[in-house]
Amino acid sequence: MECHYPPSMESINREIEAHIHKNKELAQIFEVYKKVLTVQLNYLDSINISVDLSEDEIKDYFRNGQYLMSRQKFDINGNLYKKIIFSLCKAIKEASPGAPDSLHQLSDAEEFKDGNIEKLLDKVKLFSKRELEEFIIDREMERRTGVSGEIIAFVIFSALSPFYSLNMKETRKKVDFSIWRRGYCPICGQTAVIAKHRIEDGARVLHCWLCHAEWVYPRLECPYCDNKEQKQLRFFYVPGDKSRQVHVCEKCKKYLKTIDMKIMQKNVSLDVEAIATGYLDIVAKREGYRAPDETVLLN
């Protein structure tokens, strides 16, 4: 399987234009996305990643269902990380003038000071999106920085993404992800929230929004509860666009947005699709299904 990281900005721009052409309301969010992605891609050359684990060690993790970064000693240059945080905040502010001015000072927060960054990053690699947001609330970062927890979490993850993605790419040179069969990422552990049916053979490939790992997962199983009961698995789409689907499981009530590139007859960016298909999240939730990374509060 081919590795799609890093993406070409040219094709990303083309896809985004087409989406905005159909739905003008997406212009703002894609403006932020493009600026953030540009910062991330610009820093790739400054990042050095070497994967010290042997092929056998990596395979052992995978066989045990342990994502690599739960154990891997993985050093991130704190200074560089802080610089990326600063650049990202600047980019977000440029793309959305309504964002708070305090974004410019976010990189001065206690958490990003020398010595603290390493501790922060050690914790964050075990956090889901939600857990990071809770951590930010516990630490009262919103009050101290004047930036909302959601944006802080977005910035922290967006700054990590280039490091994680290069780690993914280096790891993949040693071991492909064919022995991994989980609903979460083999490298960074984040839950897959979008998938594709690949253009060549229609196989289902799950995608990690954070490190961009992609791995095959059987179409006739639920990635979140391993349900194989065919009667409890189905999919739907909005009439007129059969290539953008929502696959649901009646057992765990979770849904997975899926882009069928075989039907589409072209490869598109799942990061772009994840944003463009926000209407599918609305439909799925209205039908009583939960996003895969949502924690169960009731039932």
Q: Contact between 187 and Zn ion (CB under 5 A)?
A: yes
The region of 192-200, 244-252, 265-273, 284-292 touching Zn ion under the rule CB under 5 A is 244-252
Q: What is the rounded distance in angstroms from the CA atom of residue 20 to the CA atom of residue 2?
A: 28
Q: What is the rounded distance in angstroms from the CA atom of residue 88 to the CA atom of residue 112?
A: 14
Residue of the chain from 58, 156, 208, 272 that contacts Zn ion (CB under 5 A)? 208
Residue of the chain from 188, 195, 216, 261 that contacts Zn ion (CB under 5 A)? 188
Residue of the chain from 37, 58, 206, 222 that contacts Zn ion (CB under 5 A)? 222
Which residue's entry shows tokens 């882009």? 259
Q: How far is the CB of 187 from Zn ion (least distance, A)?
A: 5
The region of 1-9, 150-158, 251-259, 269-277 touching Zn ion under the rule CB under 5 A is 251-259
Q: Report the residue number, 53 or 137, with the smaller CB distance to Zn ion.
A: 53
CB 51 within 8 A of CB 174: yes
Q: What is the rounded distance in angstroms from the CA atom of residue 247 to the CA atom of residue 192?
A: 13
The region of 35-43, 127-135, 185-193, 258-266 touching Zn ion under the rule CB under 5 A is 185-193
Q: How far is the CB of 165 from Zn ion (least distance, A)?
A: 8
Q: Contact between 185 and Zn ion (CB under 5 A)?
A: yes
Q: Give SS3 for 153.
A: helix
Q: Report the residue number, 11 or 227, with the smaller CB distance to Zn ion.
A: 227
Which residue's entry shows tokens 């953008």? 244
CB 142 within 8 A of CB 152: yes
Q: Give SS3 for 211.
A: coil
Q: Give SS3 for 167.
A: helix
Q: Contact between 225 and Zn ion (CB under 5 A)?
A: yes
Which are the contacts of 29, defined by CB distance < 8 A and separation ≥ 6?
A: 275
Residue of the chain from 211, 246, 261, 268 that contacts Zn ion (CB under 5 A)? 211
Residue 146, CA distances (Å) to 3, 13, 103, 138 in order: 39, 32, 8, 15
Question: Residue count at the site for Zn ion (CB under 5 A)?
Answer: 14
Q: What is the rounded distance in angstroms from the CA atom of residue 66 to the CA atom of residue 208?
A: 15
Q: Contact between 232 and Zn ion (CB under 5 A)?
A: no
Q: Report the residue number, 149 or 183, with the smaller CB distance to Zn ion.
A: 183
Q: Is there a cis peptide before residue 223, judged by omega within 30 degrees of 0?
A: no
CB 205 within 8 A of CB 199: no
The region of 2-10, 151-159, 214-222, 276-284 touching Zn ion under the rule CB under 5 A is 214-222
Q: Report the residue number, 165 or 277, with the smaller CB distance to Zn ion.
A: 165
Q: Report the residue number, 120 or 211, with the smaller CB distance to Zn ion.
A: 211
Footprint on this chain of Zn ion (rule: CB under 5 A): 185, 187-188, 208, 210-211, 213, 222, 224-225, 227, 249, 251-252
